[in-house]
C-alpha cells in the first residue's frame, strides 16, 4: 500500500478528484485529496493565499503519511508539488504532473503561460479588486472541460472559487538537492486548451521525466477519463501493467 497525495489546480478543490479517489483506494492505497488554502471548503482569505502557503499545506500532509508518497499535481498544482518537494524531498516517492506546470527554478506560472499563445485561459480571466481572479463561466467548457459531461461541468461551475492572482506571479524556488533529487513523471492531455500540448511538451523536454504518458483528453482527465488516469498513476507507482 502506498500513500497518494492529489493536488488540484487553480480555481478547483479536492472535489475534482472524486472519480479517481475510489479507483486508487480500491487498488489498496491511502488517498489524500487536499484543499489548498482558499479552495474547496478551506476559507483562507485571498490576501493570505500564496504559493508558499500552498506548499506548506502539502508538506504537512506529506509529514502525516506513513512513508514517502506519490505526489500528484494537476495544472497549477504542478508548481505546488514542485515547491512542496523542495521542502520535503525525502517524503516524496515520485512527482506526477498531470497536464501541469513543470517549471524551472526561478520561473513563475505567469512566465511559463506567456510562452503558450494558443491557451484560452487569458480569455476567461476576470481580475477582481482584491487581487483574485474569477473565471468566466461561459469559457470553462472550452478551457477546462472540453470532453466532460454536462453534469460534471455544472458541478464544476458550482464549485469553482476565486483564485489568488499572486500565486501565478510567484517564481518557484527549486534546487538540485531538494526537488531535483525526486523522480518525476508527466501525463500529457492532447486536447488541452488551458495548457496546450505543445506547451506541456516544451516543459517536460526542458525538465526530463522518467516517464511520459499521453491521454487523449481535455484539461480534466480526472473527470472525463478517470479510470485511464488512475491506471497511469498506478503505473507511476510501479504497480500497473
**Ordered domains of the chain (ranges, CATH):** 3-236 (3.40.50.1820)
Cα atoms in the 13 Å half-sphere on the side-chain side of 215: 26
b/e code 60-84 from CB counts within 10 Å (16+ = b): ebbeebeebbbbbbbbbbbbbbbbb
Sign of the CA dihedral running 8, 109, 199, 154: positive
How does the average pLDDT of the chain come out, rounded?
97
* CA 204 remoteness from chain centre: 15
Lowest mean pLDDT among 160-169, 178-187, 232-241: 232-241
Strand extents, DSSP E, 30-130: 30-34, 69-74, 92-98, 125-127
Report, as an integer, the average pLDDT of 140-169.
Answer: 97
pLDDT band at 1 (very low <50, low <70, confident <90, very high): confident
Q: Dump pLDDT digits (tens) for 171-204.
A: 999 999 999 999 999 999 999 999 999 999 999 9
Q: What pLDDT score was predicted for residue 239?
A: 52
- Check: CB of residue 50 under 8 Å from CB of residue 170: yes
pLDDT band at 102 (very low <50, low <70, confident <90, very high): very high
Alpha carbon distance 102, 11 (integer Å) = 18
Element (H, E) at 229: helix 226-236
User: Above 80 in pLDDT, residue 77?
Assistant: yes
Strand extents, DSSP E, the chain: 3-7, 30-34, 69-74, 92-98, 125-127, 132-135, 163-164, 184-189, 211-215
User: Above 90 in pLDDT, residue 240?
Assistant: no
**What percent of the chain is helix, strand and coil (3-state, nearest 5)?**
40, 20, 40
* CA 178 remoteness from chain centre: 19
Please give the DSSP secondary-structure letter assigned to residue 226.
Answer: H
Output the nine-digit C-alpha cell for 179.
526537488
At 122 the three-state DSSP class reads: helix
The percent of residues in the chain predicted with pLDDT above 70, rounded, is 99
Amino acid at each position: 500500500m502506498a500513500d497518494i497525495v492529489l493536488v488540484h489546480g487553480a480555481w478547483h478543490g479536492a472535489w475534482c478528484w472524486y472519480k479517481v479517489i475510489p479507483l486508487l483506494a480500491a487498488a489498496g492505497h491511502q488517498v489524500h485529496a487536499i484543499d489548498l488554502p482558499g479552495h474547496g471548503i478551506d476559507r483562507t482569505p485571498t490576501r493570505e493565499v500564496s504559493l508558499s502557503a500552498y506548499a506548506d499545506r502539502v508538506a504537512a500532509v506529506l509529514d502525516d503519511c506513513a512513508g514517502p508518497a506519490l505526489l500528484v499535481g494537476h495544472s497549477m498544482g504542478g508548481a505546488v508539488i514542485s515547491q512542496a518537494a523542495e521542502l520535503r524531498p525525502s517524503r516524496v516517492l515520485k512527482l506526477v504532473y498531470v497536464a501541469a506546470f513543470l517549471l524551472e527554478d526561478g520561473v513563475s506560472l505567469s512566465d511559463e503561460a506567456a510562452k503558450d499563445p494558443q491557451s484560452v485561459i487569458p480569455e476567461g480571466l476576470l481580475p477582481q479588486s482584491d487581487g483574485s481572479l474569477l473565471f468566466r463561466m461561459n469559457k470553462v467548457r472550452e478551457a477546462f472541460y472540453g470532453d466532460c459531461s454536462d453534469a460534471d461541468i455544472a458541478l464544476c461551475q458550482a464549485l469553482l472559487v476565486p483564485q489568488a492572482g499572486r500565486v501565478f506571479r510567484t517564481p518557484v524556488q527549486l534546487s538540485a538537492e531538494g526537488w531535483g533529487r525526486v523522480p518525476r513523471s508527466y501525463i500529457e492531455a492532447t486536447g488541452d486548451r488551458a495548457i496546450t500540448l505543445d506547451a506541456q511538451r516544451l516543459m517536460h523536454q526542458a525538465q526530463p521525466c522518467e516517464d511520459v504518458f499521453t491521454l487523449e483528453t481535455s484539461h480534466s482527465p480526472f473527470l472525463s477519463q478517470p479510470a485511464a488516469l488512475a491506471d497511469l498513476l498506478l503505473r507511476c507507482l510501479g504497480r500497473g501493467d
